[in-house]
Amino acid sequence: MPEFNAPLRDMRFVLHEVFHGPALWARLPALAERVDADTADAILEEAAKITGQLIAPLNRSGDEQGVAFEAGAVRTPDGFRQAWQTYRDGGWVGLAGNPAFGGLGMPKMLAVQFEEMLYAANCSFSLYSALSAGCCLAIDAHASAALKATYLPALYSGQWAGTMCLTEPHAGTDLGIIRSKAEPQADGSYKVSGTKIFITGGDQDLTENIIHLVLAKLPDAPAGPKGISLFLVPKYLVNADGSLGQGNAVSCGSLEHKMGIKASATCVMNFDGATGYLIGEQNRGLAAMFTMMNYERLSIGIQGIGCAEASYQNAARYACERLQSRAPTGAQDPQRIADPIIVHPDVRRMLLTMRALTEGGRAFATYVGQQLDIAKYAEDAEERDAAQRQVALLTPVAKAFFTDNGLESCVLGQQVFGGHGYIREWGQEQLVRDVRIAQIYEGTNGIQALDLLGRKVVADGGQALAAFAAQIREFAQAQPPFCQPLLNALNELEDLSQWLCTQASRDPNAIGAASVEYLQLFGYVAYAYMWSRMAAVARDALVHDPAFYGAKLASAGFFFERLLPRTLSLQASIRAGSAPLFELDAAQF
């Protein structure tokens, strides 16, 4: 059975040496009193134990057994309930939550690294926690004081869990056409009715209560997305003293039978006049829900990184042990019947691709976490606003690019195993199945690309992009390693962005035709920035740990020489415009 060992050395490198997390926390008063370098390292150490020793061993058995739907209730696989109890007792659900309601208040820079461990260990188990954390974020940001006091403590503790109920059978991306309704009641509550599909953790046996955040429309709501409101609908009603009351009119109708994440309950949920409570303002529910969705998009992006890390560990270990053929330069170990496959150039190409993409993603996720911490905790309003604009720009890149690379890395890992990669016992085929959903849920990667190019670049007039580019140029003034290819790629991105802004004013199809390739191009430039930053630190620290920092410099070189050139083909594809997509009539497809 494959093992998972959290990459603690690399996580500390990124957190402490590249992005100077402890120095940032020390100047943010709300964080300074909660966390320092020693606290962060202790949390990462404990997280590595719980993910590697408790949660990872349930990954394959959970996939084999899956969730069950019996007598209208969902049962999780063997071992999940006991693991959840240990997990909740450790306070992991509320790691970054509001301390006023029982959260630990840890910085997002630290939380993203924990999330990576969790996804690498067991995607299905991770999702129950991730949805609860996102649910808490939306309630904390938009709900009334009474709702916060009633629901957040039990959610942060893991005693209760949360869900996000958006999608309906006829309405996925186009939420403006949802049919779920909410009828106001005399006591200020609402009766919520409708059917939601693809609901992660819609029902399960891990927690005492489940808190659903449900999008629905009021009777007099405007048409389209401007008429959507957000409601909190508990599985069990909560009494005034905080104890659980009677069951609400909400039920799981069935479970989806899926390609992967089989130990995660993906439910059809029926709301039949269920009692709910308005979160935020009427007809402003989509904006409130996006607080949760944007959290989940970054989290699901990190799922891609976690799966990629697990794939890399499995494949690298196998490549060093599997004996097949001799090295092209001659036998490397004449005493054995063959050389380990790590000697073969193509195996090294696959492993280095996985390593460069995963370590670049880890750095970028930590960078986005840093911006989230600044946006939330900085005392200066201008600094907060600048960081929030960066988060808005980079979130679709993180979700889509991390998960695209996650699939590539899992498939490459499977390829390293050869025929054994197709066999269940090695774990690689499960990784491929589990990571595949990450490109689809929480907004497909195509939708993320449209958001990036259409809203965050073209509609914004390129202002957020200009701020990101200015930061990269300021860093490059110090002449870090790989400075010139980084600046060349950045110049190409900016030139292409300006060209696309012009094209979009002339061609309605321009944004949709270019968006996916544009997001990929943006992602490679962002990773180039990350790798240049990491290489600068590694160069200066090389004498202190030649093995670690030398490997970091070599991986950086591989990224710039073998992966960054992918931007050239992406540029050519984008500049071809939308015309080649419309040469065929619909009837010819």
From 168, 296, 442, 517, active-site residue: 442
The answer to whether the CB of 231 falls within 8 A of the CB of 182 is: yes
Q: Report CA-CA distances (Å) from 472 to 366, 373, 475.
A: 16, 20, 5
Q: What is the DSSP string of 51-116?
A: IIIIIGGGHHHHHHH--EEETTEEEPPTTHHHHHHHHHHTT-TTTTS-GGGT-----HHHHHHHHH
Taken in order 317, 319, 321, 322, is the CA torsion positive or negative? Answer: positive
One-letter identity of residue 22: P
Residue with tokens 């009692």: 275
Say whether 309 is catalytic.
Answer: no
380, exposed or middle or buried, with CB in 10 Å at 0-12, 13-18, 19+?
A: exposed
> Measured between alpha carbons, how far is 564 from 155 in angstroms, rounded to an integer?
43
Q: Regarding beta strands 209-216 and 160-165, do their DSSP bridges make them parallel or antiparallel, or are they unpaired?
A: parallel
**How many CA atoms lie less than 13 Å away from 394 in the CB half-sphere?**
25
Contacts of 572 (CB under 8 A, 6+ apart): none
Question: Could you give the residue ranges of the DSSP H alpha helices within 322-380?
Answer: 345-377
> Measured between alpha carbons, how far is 205 from 76 in angstroms, rounded to an integer?
6
Helices 463-476 and 381-417 cross at an angle (nearest 10°) of: 80
One-letter identity of residue 585: D
What are the residue numbers of the active site? 442
